[in-house]
Structure 1
Amino acid sequence: MNKTPNELLNTQKSVDVNGSSFQWDTSKGVFQFEGGDVMLFWIDSAFKVFLDSIEEITGEGTADLVFETAGYRTGLVVSDFYKNKIGDIKKSIEALPNIYVTAGWGKTFIDVNIEKKEAVISISNSWETKVKKAQGSNRMGRFLPGHWAGVFTGLFDTHMWYEIQEDDSKQNIMKIKITETDITPSDNIRDLVQREEQNEIMKLEAMVENRTRELTDLIREISSPIIPVTDHIVVIPLIGKYNELRSKDMLEHTLTSLPQHRAKFVILDLTGIKSIDSEMIDMLNKLVSSARLFGMETLLVGISPELSMEVTKHQYSLGDSTYFRNLKHAIHFAFAKEGMFIQEPNQP
């Protein structure tokens, strides 16, 4: 029976490199390293695109934490595998450089003090520095430092963390110090979440502050308009409650704008005032005094019975102003003092 070209090929291959085994079974599409399924990536193209995509979606800060945490957890997997395979911690550490160089993770040197639980890992030609170089990035790699922290956390059975002592993508060299610590990836994740929450809060506060400023400016513009009725008469409607800031704005706006009108009569319309206090009285008296300094007479209108009772109850003084029930009466009065009158249409 004739065999097809594929059947003539040897579908199973096995290679031992530095004590690490590689197996291929092309009939099943399987590639294994140390008995576990693996796959291959081109570092500076396909794998770079993979990492670029993560950074683009999550942002650099979050991506660093993702790589760091993923590195740490894969380090735990590696330490667990070789502790079970070799058994002895010292022998496991001695085997690691050959394992990593064989797997294409770079030339690795480990200087370890088991008693002090400290290690310095020097790596040249690592895949992470190659990716950073291909990206044109000056940021430090986070996967390998996190990974080695995870490896020694598993080997020493205590929390270990890293300090990057050197990371030169141009020379393709990385040096990492691993020491015992209380830091864990979970702590870093919480810190990141808190930082992001704080950033969002700060952004929201800035938006609220800007919006509040815009609304305050708008209120200032519309809350103290000076409305000219004739060349000699202006009306200032007062609406709502006047606190210290609003009273100050009102006075400043009025003092700045009144001289431009050259009016003889200023009518303060209190129809929109529902309650009155000493601060409001003080503002009204200052308005009256300011108008008098400009040679203007002040007329007060729109004082409701309730407002009148409050003024009487608290014995507030509104100076020598003339009072009218409504705006119409005040305007008629001002016209009369100028020797003019308003002729109303005949009633049917």
Structure 2
Amino acid sequence: MENELKSYTGTEIQVGGLEFSWDLDQGTFKYEKDDAVLFWIDSAMKIFFDTIEEISGDKAAAVVLETAGFRQGIIVGDYFKKQNLTLNEVAAVLPNTYASAGWGKMEISQVNHVRKMAIIQVKDSWEYKINKAQGKTRRGTFTPGHFAGILSGLFGVNIWYKVLKSQIEGDSHSEFEYFPSEMTVQQNIHEFARQEQSEQIRRLEYLVDERTSELNELIKEISSPIIPVLEGIVVVPLIGKYDEQRSHDLVQETLLNLPKQKAEYMILDLTAMSEDVTKGTVEFIDRLATSASLIGTKTILVGISPEFAISIAKSDNNLSAFNCFSTLQHGIYFALSEQGRQIT
């Protein structure tokens, strides 16, 4: 076997006018005198594509492959330019160049030198075979992007494309129309980044809205419950800060539940309220207490801080009309005495 392998070292062949060479001693394979490498399409290359898409996602992978194809195409276009070949000559040699390298059967069916336009047909490309092995039904982006790069190099202007036919989507071959365009791969990358950013923002906004809604519901459930402490006496602890919506909800909830508790006295405990007392906060407490009195429940205020007392004094609301005590215990004792009862 060793002798058999050695007999093949340094082999050179030509396929379709293109030169292939191997040096088994050096472990090299060259295509047109440049280092090349071979991969199996249905296994190795498929796994390569699968991995890119798994890590980055289908949309990002499509942009990456299209961009890579375009930039590789620019290199090929520069190669043909250095050969001093006319566009017609390139169109003549390109099919064999790509067929010999396993890119599939391709043909430049139309070329307009003046308008810098072309139509390229491709059948059974390696990308199509990979997409088919992946079970996809939508075309890949590497191949059309690649030929856009080649034509951009040859025409000397930025060329882009649109898909006329797609083999993976049921046509007998793929067909791409190429034309001058202000669209560039860089713009594609930036546009994709903007779309991804917008999508992430939308997802975050949705999550925030959903979470906020859940928290609001939770706050409604646990915020300032009516606590019956003795017959006819309930305590409503006010906790934290009350904006317009929270204030409205508490007034509504309290007025609905006071009759159910048969409350003669409602003790509003302000101990845990935010120290940032505003005019709106004072108005809210006045509105709650006044509303309760309309359904026959008297209000007692307890736990008023010095800051709260100053805000009350500066406001137009007359909270002094309600009985006020420093602690909850004193408030309960007062309510009991008003009922003619006492704790024994």
Both proteins in one fold, TM over 0.5: yes
Q: CA deviation at 1:75?
A: 0.7
Name the counterpart of 1:346: none
CA deviations 1:179-202 (Å, max 9, x no partner) are 111111111112222222223333
Amino acid at match of 1:282: E
Contact 2:283 2:317 in 1 (8 A): no
Name the counterpart of 1:65: 63
Secondary structure at 2:319 match in 1: coil
Contact 1:235 1:267 in 2 (8 A): yes
Change (3 A) 1:237 1:199: same
Q: Does 1:90 align with 2:91?
A: no
Secondary structure at 2:238 match in 1: strand
Q: CA deviation at 1:21?
A: 1.9
Name the counterpart of 1:36: 34
Greater mean deviation of Cα atoms: 188-197 or 7-16: 7-16
Change (3 A) 1:315 1:132: closer
Change (3 A) 1:276 1:126: closer
Amino acid at match of 1:286: R
Secondary structure at 2:210 match in 1: helix
Contact 2:158 2:181 in 1 (8 A): yes
Name the counterpart of 2:115: 116
Secondary structure at 2:324 match in 1: strand
Amino acid at match of 2:105: K
CA deviations 1:63-98 (Å, max 9, x no partner) are 111111111111111111122124333322322122
Amino acid at match of 1:255: L
Secondary structure at 1:32 match in 2: strand
Q: Does 1:265 align with 2:265?
A: yes
Name the counterpart of 1:80: 78
Q: CA deviation at 1:53?
A: 1.8
- What is the TM-score with the length of structure 2 in the denominator? 0.89
Partners of 1:16 and 1:64 in 2: how far apart?
34
Change (3 A) 1:315 1:20: closer
Secondary structure at 2:166 match in 1: strand
Partners of 2:17 and 2:96 in 1: how far apart?
8
Q: CA deviation at 1:304?
A: 4.3
Matches within 5 A, 1:261-340: 261-273=261-273, 274=275, 276-318=277-319, 320-340=321-341
CA deviations 1:115-148 (Å, max 9, x no partner) are 1100000111211111111111012110100000
- What is the TM-score with the length of structure 1 in the denominator? 0.88
Contact 2:123 2:167 in 1 (8 A): no
Q: Does 1:231 align with 2:231?
A: yes
Partners of 2:2 and 2:285 in 1: how far apart?
105
Q: CA deviation at 1:43?
A: 1.9
Q: RMSD between aligned alpha carbons?
A: 2.5
Secondary structure at 1:40 match in 2: coil
Q: CA deviation at 1:275?
A: 6.0
Matches within 5 A, 1:182-193: 182-193=182-193
Q: CA deviation at 1:330?
A: 2.5
Name the counterpart of 1:148: 147
Name the counterpart of 1:213: 213
Amino acid at match of 2:328: L
Aligned pairs, number = 341
Greater mean deviation of Cα atoms: 103-112 or 164-173: 164-173
Amino acid at match of 2:281: M
Secondary structure at 1:229 match in 2: strand
Q: CA deviation at 1:164?
A: 1.2
Contact 1:129 1:174 in 2 (8 A): no
Partners of 1:200 and 1:192 in 2: how far apart?
12
